[in-house]
Structure formats: C-alpha cells, structure tokens
Structure 1
C-alpha cells in the first residue's frame, strides 16, 4: 500500500451525503491528501457527483423509504471497491449506525451505534444528559400531549419567552416561539397549533429562550479525545437556523466545554453543538448534531483535517486539536447573494453583509473543480419538485429522503 504526503497509507474512502457542501469540502480535503474518494447518494443530482475529487459516485436506495436496500447498496460498494473507511456526513448516519456491525471487518464505519447517537440527536435526551453531567442548560420541559401543553401553561412557564420544537428536527424549520410581548391571541394560536402536532411518539420540548451570542462548534473525536475542532459564529442564515456564512472564532472556553463533554461520554466520530453564550460568559448548549456540519468549511487542505479521521496516531498530543487558520471565513455564495437581495437590511447590517461577502471564499466553487457550482442549479430544481410534491419547505425537502426521527 502506498503512502501520501502526510505519511499515511492511501485509503479508499466512501462518503455518504454527497448533497451537502460539507461533504464536498471533505471530499476535496481527502483527495488533496492523496486518498481515493467515492460517494454514495440517494438523490440523482448532488454536489459530489460531478466533483473532480471523487473517483466514482453511486446512486443508492433512499434510506428512509428502503432502509434494507440502502444498506445492501452500501455493503456492495464497500465490498466491490475495497473501501477502508465509510464516513457518513448527514442524517443518513442514523440509518447506517443501526447496521454498523453488518459491514465487512476490514471497513471502519466512522460512527457510533444508534443507541448512543440517538441520545445526542434527541433534543430532550441530550439536554438531560448534559444536565446530569453538571453543565448549565436552558430550562426545558418535555411535552407529549396538548393536555401537558395546557398544564405547562397553567404553571406560568409561557409567561417568559419560550422556544417550542420537536425532539427530532433540523434547520430550526419547525420552531415556534411564544413571546410575552405578543398578543395572548397570537400565543394561544401557537400553543394550539403545536398541541395538534403532539403525540406520545412525537413529543416536543419547551425551552426557555436565552439571550446572547449564537455559537457553533464542530469536532472530530477519537476515544473521547478531540482530534480536530473549530468554533464559529454565523451572522447570516437561511431562515431561522441554516447558516450560510461561517466565521472562525478562537474560543478556549467553548473548546474546554467540548473536551469535558466528549471525555465524559467517551465519544467517537464527528460531533457538533449549538450554543448560546450570555453576557456573563455562560455557555448554554441548545442541541447536538453527531455528524458532519458546516464547521468543515473553515478547514483548508493544509490544516490536515484528514489526519483526524485516518491518522490520529500520527498527531502529536502537543498539536491537538487541529484547528483552522485564525482568520478563516467561508460562505455559500448563492445563498449569501439571495440573502443580500431579498432581506431588508439596515445600513449597519448591510455593511456587515458586504464585508462578510467580500472576504469569504465560496465553499462550492473551485477553479480546479468548477462543476459542483453548476450542479447547484440542478439540485435546486430537484429540491423544488420535492417541496411541491410533499408541501414542505425547500430546506425540509433538501433532506426529505434521509431524515431520521427515531424510527
């Protein structure tokens, strides 16, 4: 087996979730390091399909419609192409982790078993876990029925600003807000609408709104130790939750929080957190994504992020964790342009947007790998068809076939 420029053996790596810009960046990082990158996706058009960094792309079954066929497709690729490592990047990780022991011994699945991932992905279970570890958390309640919702209101919980969201959700696409400054009629309408969505099998949480700075983190973990890490903020989002601009922040306190958590949980794989930091410096974790997230965009090939996955034994303890350059920024260019055009930005926000746009690289376009940029328009058309077919938002449509809601 030959070696690459970092001294690690060249590996055959299979990525899933090729639709995600983070997966495209990861493919480019691995390819630059000399590895052979393959991608499996359940949609026809996706960013990695046309990337020069990918040797071959495979269209596979939809994981939440044909879960057994999906796993068989992946197993066949692993066997035929002698895959050394399979790295899930999006919510298909939950479908894969249910069958983590069914893959051939020679292929490492960069994931934990579903039982451990579910605790992190489930918004109530995660908050309870963090609280039991002794960390500060927002005041949070689990609600199964409209009767429980009504009873919680009678305790006065909704007299303060409150966030309502399903225990399984993404992109903040279903978040509802109760705000004392609104009319009682408006708040009652929210309570009624959420009440209709509640059931013992599909509960929501009510979480006290915390004022402060929104911060995100992304880390690669081996045996409870942080191999690579970045913290970042986003001043621009698509809707309430999906970030379209990413700016690295040097935040030792946040890193310390992550290090404590993953050491206590003995985590492995990729893990990401959303936080609110209050004016007094307190970090409140809101939710966890035990998978790849947009923090990958802040790493460049020279940062050797690939070693956190395939060569952690080569990393000196003194050099850990690997981090991006201190001035690293990135953006989804088309989304940022749309945001700047359709948003009613005041002078201050407009200046912020212009400076962010001017100094940031587009995570999709690359002069030596230009085809994914054009692929975005095909993806947009396909996503719009799914959105119309199921009467869901474009964001929800983008992950409709891979969502995992505890099934």
Structure 2
C-alpha cells in the first residue's frame, strides 16, 4: 500500500498499524524527510512534487510508483485527497484509491456546500450564510442576532477563525472568488471530534474524543476515547446518505438545548487515527473486513508529546489549566511518536521540524502553515 504525506504523525501511526498487520507500506511526500520516512514500519519513501503547486505531476508520479511497486491501495491523508479524486483515471485499475468521487469529496470539504448538504437532507445544523463581497459582509453582520464565526469555505486548523458579533464591521475581510467566506452561528456546548473509516456508505471504524488540551482551544494535543452513541449514529447517517468511502473527521457541538450539530467535516485523515493500537486491527476497516465497529478502548488516551511540552502547560491550552493537571495528563497519555519498537521517528524529530521550518521560510508562512501548506487545496480548478 501507499500512504501520502509522510511528514504527518497521522501517516506514521497508520503506517505502524498497517505494518503490524503484515502490510508493506510505501510513503511519499514533497518534503525531503519526515517522521514516516525513518520508521521501520515503512519499506520505501519517495519524494514527489508538491500537490498544491504541481498537481498533475504529483498524481502522475504517484501513479508511476503504484505501477512500479505493484501497490494495491493508495490512502491519502491530507487535502491531496481532492486532487487525487480529480485525477483518479491516471491510476491503474489494479489499484484502489481509498476515497470517494471528487463530487463527494469536494462537497464535504467545502464548508459552505457541506452545510447546505445537511439542510438538503433535513439534518439540523448551525445557521450560516455565504460572504463573497463587502455587501454580503454587511448583510451577514445585520442578519445574525448572536455571535458568529467567520472563516473561509476552504480552510483548516492552521488558519484564522474570526469571532464576530451582530453589527460588527467586517471590512477587514479580503475576497478570493474561488474561496468565499462562511458566516456560521457560534454555539456553545461540549465539543467533540471524530475519526471514521468508511467504505461504500458503511462505517467500519470510529473514534470519538472531546476537545481537551489544544493549541488555542482548537488544534488538539490529547485524544481520549469516549463513548457517545449519539455521535456514532449521527455519523453513520451522514456516511450512508452520501455513500462515503474514505476516512473522515467531524467537529461536533453538543448543546444542552439543541443537541448535536456539526461545525464542519474533514473528508480525510484526522488525529483520531492516532488513538488506535496494533491489537485493535484498524487495518481491517480500510478493506471492509470487520463485521463489528472497531473503536479504541474506552478511556485510552494518546498525545502529541512534543506539542504538549511546548503548548500544554499554557493557560490557553485547557480550561482552568494548572501544572498539576498538565503533568497528570502527560503521565496518563501515550505519546504518538515515541516508540521503543520504532525509535527513529522520535529521535529524529528535530530534523523533521527543521524540514518543516525550511518549507515555512520557502512559502513565507508560519511553522504550522509550513507543515501542510503545499498539500492544501482551496477549490482552484486544475
């Protein structure tokens, strides 16, 4: 099999689960190195073109690797998923791309079309409206009677989300005709994230974790499996109604009065993949081999250790955070990088971050943007 985005902790963890189950794993990336490249779970690494800037070259290079190494399945991790879906015809019929059609992937990825898809299916969601011009911005500010979020239709955790209030001046927004803004009701409640592995409208693996320790309250650093039957059934319904194949993450708000609503959908790999253990055999879900839903053990907690060390102790990382809470969480959680059986990725983390910092300088973005910038897709035609 081939897994993309070798620099990602998600790729590393998936590669480890697959290798433990006996699969041969090839990884690719546009960066010279990355944590998965140095893992003993991978049998080959190939440097390829950046999908954001050279999408056709990227897909042709992957197709050539598939042909040469007789790869039977390609599992995309980040937003290169959309690009691969557009060019699925380049790949030999003997290889499966673990994703849905481009129409489904794009509908779920675009925050506006995702919300509209929920409305069309009679699924309650947050109030929203499109902002494509200064006039739309004025109308939105006057339409909402409660606080609302403003973010771009194609965006991800590394990018700014503005909290606005009725009547606010939104003249600071700039406009991209291929990437409009969405104004979305800001609802309070318990926040959860999910990760699901799906095939042909059925869900084969699933993880649910509350937003706990997180950078700026949004990018999670710890992941604890909890039971929430309502979220499982809500996700099953969406997966079945759109006939989804691939892996996806959903962000939920559980409000005491209104119940469950989703903020957005990420039709690709998400951090929940790092919650599974070898013995869970999540590899079976990617091939639809299991009959009962695979989940991590209840209460099992993992963490991005480096991220916790840098950010976890800060007040902004957890409500009413204290050093005692921080150290207790660090003791309880398993690091998703460090492994006695696979030590090189952890030992070479400084080199991995050096590569990311180099890309950040190259593309003139921050370190978080440098991590994923050349694998993003913002709706521009190819």
Cα distance in 2 for residues equivalent to 1:230 and 1:345 = 22
RMSD, aligned α-carbons = 1.8
Identify if the C-alpha distance between structure 1 residues 342 and 68 changes in structure 2 by more than 3 Å, giving closer, same or farther. Answer: same
Other structure's SS at 2:171 match: helix
Listed as ranges, the matches of 1:66-215 within 5 Å are 66-153=54-141, 155-157=142-144, 159-171=145-157, 173-179=159-165, 187-188=168-169, 191-194=170-173, 197-215=174-192
Q: What is the CA distance between 1:179 and its match in structure 2?
A: 4.0
CA shift for structure 1 position 332 = 0.3
- CA offset at residue 50 of structure 1? 0.2
CA-CA distance at 1:343 after TM superposition: 4.2
Matched, 1:277 2:254: yes
Structure 1: stretches of 5+ with no match in the other structure: 1-12
Q: Give distance in 1, aligned partners of 2:262 and 2:286.
A: 25
Q: Aligned pair 1:333/2:305, yes or no?
A: yes
Instruction: Work out the CA distance in 2 between the residues paired with 1:91 and 1:359.
Output: 32
**Deviation of residue 206 (structure 1)?**
0.5
Paired with 2:8 and 2:203, the residues of 1 have a C-alpha distance of 23
Contact kept? 1:172, 1:241, Cα under 8 Å: no
Conservation of the 8 A alpha-carbon contact between 2:194 and 2:207? yes
Q: Which runs of 4+ in 1 moved over 6 A?
A: 344-347
Query: What TM-score results when the alignment is normalised by the length of structure 2?
Result: 0.95
Return closer, same or farther for 1:388/1:302 CA change in 2, 3 Å cut-off. Answer: same
Tell me, yes or no, if the aligned pair for 2:314 and 2:321 is still in contact at 8 Å: no
Query: For 2:373, what is the secondary structure of its paired residue?
Result: coil
The 3-state SS of whatever aligns with 1:163 is strand
1:41 to 19, 29, 33: 29
Match of 2:51 among 47, 60, 63: 63
Q: CA deviation at 1:389?
A: 4.0
1-structure distance, mates of 2:54, 2:377: 13
